[in-house]
């Protein structure tokens, strides 16, 4: 084991199991090529596992189910943090994140101001879809998801129970963020979101 490889391994052992590892985490130890080759050798040696291209982990272990790999959602969050990009869940991913659907999306689609790309994580796919800055202006953690989830359901297709659940979720949102985000939504979604403010003031 060469010097760079051993330094990388020492650093990996100081990182909690389950945390994602990127080549850039070790850029101070050598050239990008040397780091890449070292990580490849450590993977071959069983020290780490490749999650996706350029993403590794020292997985947690369970006595019942064995190796526990990080979910695609965690990978997406780590990539966004590493690349310092903004992302916004859309479609079935937004519905699932809010609890409006129990369906786990095999394809996670995220709007982003970063580079468009597609990453395979196990049997699932993460798609970073380039969008305009305007689409990423929503501030609220809940309200930004609600807008995308309702868009996925469609105008005129939102059931009474879904609307009730959405309003209940929005009542937990910061009021300033909610008011800000309502202004960004299509008119038909604004009408639903405003009900959370009305209920709040009753």
124 bridge partner residues: 121
Q: What is the pLDDT of residues 177-194, one digit of tens each?
A: 999 999 999 999 999 999
Cα 152 off chain centre by: 18
User: What is the Cα–Cα distance from 157 to 119, expressed in whole angstroms?
Assistant: 32
The upper half-sphere exposure of residue 107, i.e. CA atoms within 13 Å in the direction of its Cβ, equals: 7
pLDDT at 202: 46
Whether the per-residue pLDDT at 166 is higher than 90: the answer is yes
Confidence of residue 200 (pLDDT cuts 50, 70, 90): low
User: How is the chain split into domains, by residue range?
Assistant: 3-66, 71-133, 137-202
pLDDT at 1: 64
> Topology of domain 3-66, per CATH?
Arc Repressor Mutant, subunit A (1.10.10)
Whether the per-residue pLDDT at 201 is higher than 70: the answer is no
User: What is the Cα–Cα distance from 89 to 106, expressed in whole angstroms?
Assistant: 13
Whether the per-residue pLDDT at 112 is higher than 90: the answer is yes
Q: Which secondary structure element, helix H or strand E, spans residue 118, and what is its range?
A: strand 117-121
Enter the pTM of the model: 0.84
- Could you give the angle at the alpha carbon of 118 between the alpha carbons of 115 and 122, nearest 5°? 145
For the residues 146-175, what does the mean pLDDT come to? 96
pLDDT at 65: 87
């Amino acid at each position: 084991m060469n010097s760079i490889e051993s330094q990388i391994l020492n650093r990996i052992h100081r990182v909690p199991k389950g945390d994602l590892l990127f080549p850039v985490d070790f850029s101070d130890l050598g050239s990008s090529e040397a780091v890449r080759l070292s990580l490849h050798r450590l993977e071959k040696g069983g020290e780490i596992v490749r999650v996706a291209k350029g993403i590794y982990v020292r997985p947690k272990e369970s006595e019942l189910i064995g190796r526990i790999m990080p979910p695609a959602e965690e990978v997406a969050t780590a990539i966004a943090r590493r690349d310092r990009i903004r992302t916004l869940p859309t479609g079935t991913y937004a519905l699932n994140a809010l609890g409006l659907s129990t369906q786990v999306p095999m394809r996670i689609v995220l709007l982003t101001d970063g580079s468009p790309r597609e990453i395979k994580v196990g049997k699932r796919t993460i798609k970073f879809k380039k969008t305009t800055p305007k689409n990423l202006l929503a501030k609220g953690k809940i309200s930004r998801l609600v807008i995308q989830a309702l868009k996925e359901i469609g105008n005129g297709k939102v059931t009474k129970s879904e609307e009730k659940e959405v309003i209940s979720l929005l009542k937990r949102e910061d009021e300033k963020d909610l008011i800000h985000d309502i202004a960004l939504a299509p008119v038909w979604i604004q009408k639903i979101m405003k009900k959370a403010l009305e209920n709040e003031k009753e």
